[in-house]
Amino acid sequence: MLLTLISILLAGLLIFVGLLLVWSPGRPQPFLDENGKPLVGSLSEKIWVNINGVEQGMFIKSKNVNHPVLLFLHGGPGLPEYFITERYPTGLENDFTVVWWDQRGAGLSYNPNLPPETMTVEQIVDDTLEVTNYLRQRFGKEKIYLMAHSGGSFFGFQAVARAPKLYYAYIGMGQMTFQLKSETLAYDYMLQQFKANGNTNMLRKLEAAAPTLTDPLPAAYDLIRDEAMHSLGIGTMREMKSIVTGVFFPSWQFREYTLGEKVNLWRGKIFSARLLRNTVFATDLTQQVTELELPIYFFHGQSDYTCSYSLAKSYFEQLKAPVKGFYTFEQSAHSPIFEEPEKMRQILREDVLSGTNKLADGR
């Protein structure tokens, strides 16, 4: 009986792995015209480029390579987001040549032999500038646009502060400010909400694991943070109730990663978070960057407590820039790009590409 059970389990495992392999060809799909043929002038590729001595991967998607170039910096730290577009299309490729770069140590750019000492904030900011210059040269652009989400906004903001002349504009989505303070604000809000709705089980767990300004993610709190946030609609997306079903499972269903790349997606997430998260969380951007020499736009979900909406708005009001626009996404939490893509694209077309702020809050 025992041998039979082991045989059945092994057979089931082999079938599961086989299905994953079949579901993981790792090839980006081309854009097609109305006749089912590759769309003339379009681009759909997965490539690796040597960036500051390290092979780093990216997907480049565009329905017209003459479009402006937009570099997207994913959050995490260490969690690429391109695979999420399979379930939540953004439509960015209609207006931009959009570059979904997997940062050093993450996703396509993960390598177990990567020296940990190279995983620093300064290095990833340098990498961002190097990727920018690669794209400018390849597509013959004087400047590009930079869109950064969540943890990516921590690096992106410093990149445009250092080299504003490389960019037409900066778009911060779920903009990070001072994450230690953001975590304590989220914690207080969750306590209030669980008291109000009578969820004594979650309330007890949170009260036993309080974050502080010196320890924003104690182990006990880290274990329940995502569950608590998503149950209240203040996490990754307002309608996403579980990070497992909303992010983890879709990553394994994504066909443009190979099976090995899917494994590395999560190896890279663990690797990057271990080396970068404490520094990212402990740095107060509001004290480091107070003025920028290019147009800046903040896209923020009203229900976002992953990176505090109120802190982002306060920071935005203090910042000096030649053009500024703050845009509240009323139906979103942390990811307006996936939750309200049509509104996002309208703002990009009508305000960002024209260097204005006509659609911004209060205008």
Q: Are 160 and 143 in contact (CB under 8 A)?
A: no
What single-letter DSSP state applies at residue 55? E
- Of the candidates 134, 49, 42, 165, which has an alpha carbon nearest to the alpha carbon of residue 96? 42
What are 38-81's pLDDT values in tens digits?
Answer: 999 999 999 999 999 999 999 999 999 999 999 999 998 999 99
Which pLDDT score, from 0 to 100, does residue 215 have? 72
What are 244-295's pLDDT values in tens digits?
Answer: 999 999 999 999 999 999 999 999 999 999 999 999 999 999 999 999 999 9
What are 154-166's pLDDT values in tens digits?
Answer: 999 999 999 999 9
How crowded is residue 253: how many other Cβ atoms within 10 Å of its Cβ? Answer: 14
Domain regions of the chain by residue span: 43-179+247-352
Q: How far apart are CA 155 and CA 151, in angstroms?
A: 7
* 0.95 surpassed by pTM: no
Which pLDDT score, from 0 to 100, does residue 222 have? 85
What single-letter DSSP state applies at residue 41? T
The fold of 43-179+247-352 is Rossmann fold (3.40.50)
CA distance readout (Å), 293 to 41, 98, 276: 33, 23, 27
What are 112-144's pLDDT values in tens digits?
Answer: 999 999 999 999 999 999 999 999 999 999 999
